[in-house]
Structure 1
Amino acid sequence: MDEKKTLNHLQSEVIELLRFPLMVLVVFVHMLPFEQKPLNLNLDGENIYNTITELISHYLGRLPVPCFFLFSGYFFFFKISKLNTEIYFSQLKKRIKTLLIPYISWNIIYILLVYLKNIVFYMLDKNFDEIYMGIKNLSLYNIFWGLPINYPLWYVRDLIVMTIAAPLFYYLFKYTKFYGLLIILAIYLSTIEFNIPGLGTTAIFYFGLGAFMGLYKKNMLSIVISYRKISMLLAVIALGFVGYYNASEYEEYWVRIFLIFGIVVLLFGGYKCLTHEKLKKVFILLAPTVFFIYGSHMIYILGWLKGALLKSPLSISNLGMLIGYFIIPFICICIILIIYRFMEKYCPKVLSFITGNRQIHI
């Protein structure tokens, strides 16, 4: 096997290995509200809790989505030397099964489970919950697209739009080469948003970056290995500025700079993990469960566990809350994996349908 083929094989392994850890990080993101808390330079218990949780959920937790856009753009274009109508519609047809059907399915599953829970509440003479009341007041557009109702699926919504827009990326890079990449980078770093569902600048830049490297057959791992040291340094510096400008108008600029270099560091970390055979085997084995975890974790499971934490003895101290913060995501994932295993055994066709045929036996 020549060096190029070896690097491409290692790159595929790194991406597959990282999928599950990135999904774990997504669950940590949803441990906190979207609102950020200001950080202070002191050793107060509450500030220590806020610093650690903000770092993980609001800063490091921003890494998974750009990575998934990057990988998607790369693999969409990697085997394409020339995009024509036949190839384009062939790719779209594949994405109907892997993106559109799971996207619609998980939004419907969310609604059905909310209604089922509230029917039980009604029978027990209890009040309807806020989610049920919210759904009743939403339009179909907001339920399935504007929000969407199963909120983490906004990533899939944006990815569907990027896939449809693939010819625009193709011609942008065909005629402008590297300058086209600089254009979408400038838009991304400006933090300007179009406020149109499906057209987030994070999706445009990282899917576009993946598309550029896929079209020109660049090996991401080769670039990562070459620039790992300077990227580590710049990621730490940028993260320092993120902390300094925490909860201010300048924070988002530094977060986006951090993410660019942070992704390089993350990919290099995945590359180094390949040498740990047991860890590699576990992460790759769990990789096909990622979409199921992604689609299901915000349907009551994580919310109930967070509610249980607030009612437990752990909630009386910042240390207890920090312990709960680290434990709950893994309890949540374990519960989901049990459900996944049950469905795999008793209704594999349904599982295949709602995950875009991504699952394997675990």
Structure 2
Amino acid sequence: MSVEDQVRQRIAMLRFLMIFGVVLLHVPPFVPFAELTNEPFSLIKAYLQLAVFRCTVPVLTLISGYLLFRSAIDQDPLRLARKKGKTILVPFLFFNLSLLGVALLLHHGLGISLSNNIPPANPSGWLDLAFGYRGSPINYPLNFLRDLLVLMLLAPVFGWCLRRAPWVGLVLVFGIFMNNLDRALLLRDVMAPVFYLGGLAAVRRWNLVAFDRFAWPALGAFLLACAWIVAMQVANTNYLRLVAPFLIWPAAALLVPTAFGRWMARMSKYSFFVFVAHAPVLLATWIVFKPFSPWVPYPVYWVLAPFVVVGLLVVTYRVLARYLPGLLGTVLGTPVNAPPKPSAARVATAAPVGS
């Protein structure tokens, strides 16, 4: 397998793995370090939700930056705006405003509240829930798309720096965003530096498989760093998020040649739909579980929920792709074909979320 094929398959595999991690990260309820106990399940849950899978968005951001600047679309701002308006803005608006509409109907019609901020107390609250103006939108995972849209607007400036003064640009990006000098321009400070580093890898044509020989040490270092985060109850994981993509990328080489890795790469085409749609489905599983909680232990729900949600959404995607491919393609911002027959299945090499 050529280096280019290895990179494509690794991107596809990581895309599905990271978005499954996003779903697991959001399994309710959120338990902060202050409420952590020394019970084994509590520690395992904290290890995965407060450390390991906190690194999913940085990995996806790094890959998105790499793919965008590798394509050099940043040098054509109008084309960039048209493409990203279709592939990021349209899905963001559809999946967020749809959930906001459902939340308002449930609140006013049935007295069921999906959020403590329904209805918002002021215009700023409405702007946040609807568009992620200065805070998280109602479909909270979509704050990633919100920030990615901002990065797309900044991409021409980043691209100029990457090609003319890459290291000065890197220092400026770190200095501005890691010190929150951008205020609420980005909700996640780490995204801009990681996005820029992905662009640096593309523009400077780094050898992306050069460190594969360190896959096991990279994996071990990442897992140990996550263990330290939990053991020391480090609430600010920004430095872990900065480093993690550069440990996870070579560590992923361990999975690429395996049957499991190839299966995850094939599942990549479902990833974006799972990402944008998983929050309300996950909430529905929590609502269904709560009446049964006296008889069904919470750890059972916590383990099964992400598999159930991903499975349901993959089936939903397949049904929509078969019967309403035009509608599905419109709301996802990319053409959707009917699911191929098993004999014709190919490794998915779609770009990561928002690319």
* TM-score normalised to structure 1 length: 0.81
Superimposed CA distance per residue, residues 88-137 of structure 1 (whole angstroms, 9 cap, x where no aligned partner): 32222211211111111111221233345457xx4xxx434254970454
Q: What SS does structure 2 have at the residue aligned with 1:221?
A: coil
Q: Does 1:220 align with 2:208?
A: yes
Cα pair distance change 1:343/1:113, threshold 3 Å = farther
Q: What SS does structure 1 have at the residue aligned with 2:94?
A: helix
Q: Does 1:11 align with 2:3?
A: no
Give the drift of 1:268: 2.9
1:134 to 95, 114, 118: 118
What is residue 36 of structure 1 aligned with on the other side? Answer: 32
Structure 1: runs of 5+ lacking an equivalent: none
Superimposed CA distance per residue, residues 138-162 of structure 1 (whole angstroms, 9 cap, x where no aligned partner): 6342221223221111111111110
1:108 to 97, 105, 112: 97
Q: What SS does structure 2 have at the residue aligned with 1:148?
A: coil
Contact 1:292 1:340 in 2 (8 A): yes
Give the greater-gyration-radius structure (CA): 1
Q: Does 1:200 align with 2:188?
A: yes
Where do 1:243-322 residues align within 5 Å? Answer: 243-246=230-233, 250-252=234-236, 255-277=237-259, 279-299=260-280, 301-313=281-293, 315=294, 320-322=297-299
Structural RMSD (CA): 2.9
State the alpha-carbon separation in 2 of the partners of residues 157 and 92 from structure 1. Answer: 14
What is residue 79 of structure 2 aligned with on the other side? Answer: 90
Q: Does 1:328 align with 2:305?
A: yes
Q: What SS does structure 1 have at the residue aligned with 2:145?
A: helix
Cα pair distance change 1:24/1:70, threshold 3 Å = same
How many residue pairs end up in the alignment? 334
State the alpha-carbon separation in 1 of the partners of residues 224 and 305 from structure 2. Answer: 31
Where do 1:58-207 residues align within 5 Å? Answer: 58-80=50-72, 84=75, 87-115=76-104, 117=106, 122=109, 126-131=110-115, 134-135=118-119, 137=121, 139=123, 140-142=126-128, 143-146=130-133, 147-185=136-174, 192=180, 194-198=182-186, 200-207=188-195
Contact 2:209 2:250 in 1 (8 A): yes
Matched to 1:290, the amino acid is S
Structure 2: runs of 5+ lacking an equivalent: 340-355
Contact 2:91 2:331 in 1 (8 A): yes
Q: Percent identity over the alignment?
A: 19
Contact 1:231 1:265 in 2 (8 A): yes
